[in-house]
Structure 1
């Protein structure tokens, strides 16, 4: 922060974060990212207690008396059968209905379900999904080290030889792109242009970056070669 002095002089002050605080902050962010990869953890225990034997007997006795007087009455408790959760605990829980709902969701909307799953670890194997923070960080480290970024689609060492996908799970981590670099030079896998397509959320980030840059500078999208856009290809 700089301020003008009374006789044309200036002074500046600089605030520096201590190394121990910077390292601790990085650890906190890293731990938060790891926790975010876990995904939803359903509760599998009881939520409502079942009626005990005395209560069920009272219901049955009341029903029997009502029936003797010619009144309509249920044959017993109208609640469905309770679930045994172990150690003599009987009750009702929402886990089984939730599981049935999720199975139906995966049957009727498999693409959407696969996209949601890609943000989290596999709850059975612990394997990281394609779009978990862990996978994205691994891809970033590989790109910064100059290594080709592989994905679930089985891409080879040539950065432009990956299959052209449509963002589905079968198209790999970047929806048919061979890596982050291929995605961020515009247009599509192995091609340049003014917009990024097919890369799902990562392409959306690239397009948002272009929109902001163009609004501020008045230039064509960064990295494109169809309108003199500034960026890595030397445009201005």
Structure 2
């Protein structure tokens, strides 16, 4: 297989995508067939960069570049779990999760699949919020009738068969996600909706510039904190006319 895919200089002659490797791993197969001339000291599914015996230098470079172990925040050793951890939210992640056979994967992959679904739900919430904001923007503003917010809320309440409170929560989130850093973190699955609300419902009365500095400071660690821990890191309101400056992100 490798001889057909590589020329003498190590160039790839046949397209090989990360998605294909993930599909093979989730199906319980190694990313590529094993080779007799390579050592397999790394976790299953990775090719060692050190060749055993006579191997063209180009092939060695190609194997090392394609199968360098992925970084893990949780010290994962399962190749399939590693790839799920590193896949961003979106259509590619959905396609991989649809192919996953829950009863046939190892424990690490199973847990990462659950976490991946959580990221995907955050991505969906961010996408839905953008659509809700567009719905509000399309409703006419009439001083004698319902406001655009009320009209959008009524429509969502009827269509989703939810309570008025539930519809108002969706409209409120859509409007509050006007802070790009929080909206991007939610779309990336770095935070969930509850953490997004913690960041958006920060100390009342702070100017937008101050809120953005708070978001930039807290977001890098938000994925490893609970909602309560994240809330505890928010600045404490003080009874003074000028708010205490929030330290800039380092």
Q: Which has the higher helix share?
A: 2
Structure exhibiting the larger radius of gyration computed from Cα positions: 1
Q: Which has the higher strand share?
A: 1
TM-score relative to the length of structure 1 = 0.29
**More relative contact order, 1 or 2 (CA 8 Å, 6+ apart):** 2
TM-score relative to the length of structure 2 = 0.28
